[in-house]
A and B are shown apart, each in its own frame.
Chain A
Amino acid sequence: MTTSSVAAAGVSGRSHHSKRGALRAFVVKELHHILRDRQTLTILLLMPLVQVVLFGFALRSDVRDIRLAVVDPSPNHESIALRDRFNGTGRFRIVTTAPTVAAVEPLFRRGQADVALVFPPDFAEQRADSTPSQLMMLVDASDPNTGTTMQAYTRAVITAYENDQEPSRAIRIVPDVRMRFNPTLESVNLFVPGLIALVLTLVSALMTAISLSRENERGTLEILLVSPLKPAQIIVGKVLPYLGLAFANVITALLAAWLVFDVPFRGSLPLLLAESTIYSLVSLALGVLVASKTPSQRAAMLVALMATMLPNVLLSGMVFPISSMPAWLVPITYIVPARWFIVVARGIMLKGVGLEYLWRETLVLIGMTVFLLAAAVRSFKPRIG
C-alpha cells in the first residue's frame, strides 16, 4: 500500500468483516478478565446460592417448630381430637394448655408461644348441635412473614380436620385471627423475585462499573478510544460477558429456591429469562454511566452500590411493600428499575401469568433500557467538544 487511497480502499473493503472481528476480539479479552479473576468469579457465581439459602433460612427458620398454646375452658373429646391433629403434624408443639386466654398472655410476651388456639367454652355443645364454632387464633406477628406462615399452617390443620368429618357431622370452624404485635401485617411473601433483582443488579451494574473504571484508571480505555472501536462496540463488548454471568445467576437462584425451599415456579421460564435479560441490560447501562461519571474504581464502586443496591432493596417493594410507603415516596419508586422487574418476576413465578398481564411493566423496562443504553453510549463519546 503505497498511496493513501489504496489504503483507504482496503480499509473500507474489509470493514464489515473487521467490525465483527474487533468485537469478537474485545469480548474474548473481557472473558479472559472475568475468568482469570478466580476469586471474584467464585464470589459472583456462588452469590445467588448463598443469598437464597441465607434469606431462605432467615425467613423460615421458626416456622418448622411452632409453639402452640391451647386455651380450652372445657376440654372434651372433640377439642382433644383437634389438639392431637396439631401434635400429629410435626410442625406444631403444644407448649401449654390453659383454661383462660389471660393465662397464655405472659407466654406470648416472653416469646415462649407463637400461636394460641382458643376454644369456646361450649365447643362440645356446638359440635353436637352442628352449629358453627368460633375458634380464635392468636398469632405472634412480630415478624410478619413468619406470622403469615404460621397463620396459614394453623388454618390448614383446622381445615383438614373439618374435611375429615363425615358430611352429616360437618361443622364450620371459623378461625378468628388476630395478629399480635404487628396488627397491620403486610405480606412480603416470597423473596426470591426480589433476590434475583438484587443479584442481577450486583453483577451487572457493579461489575461493569468496576471493570470499566479500571480500564479508565489504568489508561487502557484511552487506547481503546483511539482505536477504530466504536463506543457502542466497547459497551457491547463489556456488557455481553456479564449478561452471560447474569443468566447463570438467575438459573442458580431459581434452582436453589426450588431445591432448598420448594419455592414454586408457575409461569414460563423463557419469559422470565427474557425479562431478566432486559433488567440486566438496564443495570449494565447504569454501570456504564456510573463508570463514565466517576473518577476512580473506588468511587465507581461506591456510587454503583448507592445508586443501585439501596433503591433495589428499599424502594423496589422487595422488602417494604410499596402500598405502605408514604404517598410522596411512591412516585420515586417509579424510576427504580427493580420495582418493575419484581412485579414481573413475582407475576411469572408466583402467579404464573404471562405477558398479557405484564406488558406494561415490560414496556417500562424496555423504555429504561433504551434510554440508559443511549445515555451510556453518549457518555462514552471519545471526543470532548
Chain B
Amino acid sequence: MSGTSQNRAIDARNLTRRFGSFVAVDHITFDVGAGEVFGFLGANGAGKTTAIKMLIGLLAPSEGKATVAGFDVATQTEQIRRSIGYMSQRFSLYEDLTVRENIQLYGGIYGLTDEQISSRTAALLASLDMQSMADDLVARLPLGWKQKLAFSVALIHEPKIVFLDEPTGGVDPITRRQFWELIYSAAANGTTVFVTTHYMDEAEYCDRISIMVDGRIAAMGTPRELKERFNAPTVDEVFVRLARPGAGQRGAA
C-alpha cells in the first residue's frame, strides 16, 4: 500500500484522457479525503463522466496517475472494484426483480456471505423503512424510493468510496432532500462520497466542490471559499460565471 495516499480516498495527478486529438480530461489534479463529500461539478461535456470512468476503472488514462482507495487506476482495477460502490445516472436496479432479490444479487456479486447478505438486507430495509415492500417488484416502486434503494444497494458491500453520477436526476425536491440525508449518514460512517450533480443547491451540501470546464478543473474549494473568491451569492452564480461560453482566458468560441 502506498503510504502517501493512505489518508486520501482519491488522489489524481495530471489525470488526462484523449480521444484521438480531442482532450476530454486535461491534466486534472485533485484529492479527496477519507469521509469527505466531494462534489464534482461541470456542464454536460465538460469531462465529468470521462473522469469518473477513469477513476472507477472503466477507461484507461492516457496520461497522469490516480489512486482510488490507495490502488492505482492503471494497474489495480480489480482491487478498486472491490473497494468502491457506483451508482450511475441511469437507474441501476433490475425492475423485474424484487427489492430483496436486488439486494441479494449485489451482495452476491460483491462476494458477501449468505449470513452477511441476510443481516445487511434486514438492516437496509429497516433503515429505508421498506420492510413492507421487500418482496415487491422494483418496477412498482415510486422513483424516489428506487433511487434511495439504489444508493443503499451501492453501499451493500460497505465500500470505502462511493461514486454517484447524477444520482438525483428527475427526483422531486423532498426526495432529493432525503437522498442527501442518506449521503450524509454514509459520510458519517466514514464512506467517502464522490458525487456529480446538475443541481447547484446540492453543491452547497458538499464539503468541497470542483468545477470542471472544458476538461480542466476551473475552480476547487469549499462552497464558501468559492463564493467568496468569486464574490457570488450562490454556487450557482459561481458556476454560471465559470462555465459560461467565453468565460476565463479561453476566448469566445
Q: Are A223 and B105 in contact (CB-based, < 8 A)? A: no
Task: State A32–B81 Cα separation when bound (angstroms).
Answer: 25
Residues in B whose Cβ lies below 8 Å from that of A8: 1, 79
User: Of residues 197 to 239 in A, which have CB atoms within 8 Å of B's CB atoms?
Assistant: 218-220, 222-229
With both chains docked as a complex, state the minimum distance between the C-beta of A18 and any C-beta of chain B, in angstroms.
3
Contact-residue bracket for chain B: 35 or more
Task: State A227–B58 Cα separation when bound (angstroms).
Answer: 10
Residues in B whose Cβ lies below 8 Å from that of A385: 60
Main secondary structure of the interface of A (DSSP, over half): helix
Q: Are A7 and B83 in contact (CB-based, < 8 A)? A: yes
Q: Are A17 and B57 in contact (CB-based, < 8 A)? A: no
The residue in A37, A220, A226, A383 that gathers the most chain B C-beta atoms within 10 A of its C-beta is A226
**Chain B residues near A (Cβ < 8 Å):** 1, 6, 56-60, 69-70, 77-79, 81-84, 86, 88-94, 96-97, 101, 104-114, 160
Out of A7, A32, A384, name the residue touching B97 (CB < 8 Å): A32
Stretch at the interface among A22-30, A264-272, A295-303: A22-30
Is A14 an interface residue, CB under 8 A from the partner?
yes
With both chains docked as a complex, state the minimum distance between the C-beta of B63 and any C-beta of chain A, in angstroms.
14
With both chains docked as a complex, state the minimum distance between the C-beta of B159 and any C-beta of chain A, in angstroms.
10
Q: Are A4 and B1 in contact (CB-based, < 8 A)? A: yes
Q: Are A220 and B92 in contact (CB-based, < 8 A)? A: yes
Closest chain A residue to B102, Cβ basis: A29
Q: Are A219 and B92 in contact (CB-based, < 8 A)? A: yes
Out of A32, A33, A219, A227, name the residue touching B109 (CB < 8 Å): A227
With both chains docked as a complex, state the minimum distance between the C-beta of B164 and any C-beta of chain A, in angstroms.
12
18 A-B pairs in the complex with CB atoms less than 8 angstroms apart: A4-B83, A8-B1, A11-B79, A11-B82, A25-B104, A25-B109, A33-B94, A33-B96, A33-B97, A37-B96, A218-B91, A220-B93, A222-B88, A226-B58, A228-B82, A228-B109, A228-B110, A385-B60
With both chains docked as a complex, state the minimum distance between the C-beta of A335 and any C-beta of chain B, in angstroms.
33
With both chains docked as a complex, state the minimum distance between the C-beta of A29 and any C-beta of chain B, in angstroms.
5
Is A293 an interface residue, CB under 8 A from the partner?
no
Given A24-B108, A384-B59, 6 other A-B residues pairs in contact with their CB atoms under 8 A: A19-B111, A28-B108, A33-B96, A220-B92, A223-B92, A228-B81
Q: Are B57 and A227 in contact (CB-based, < 8 A)? A: no
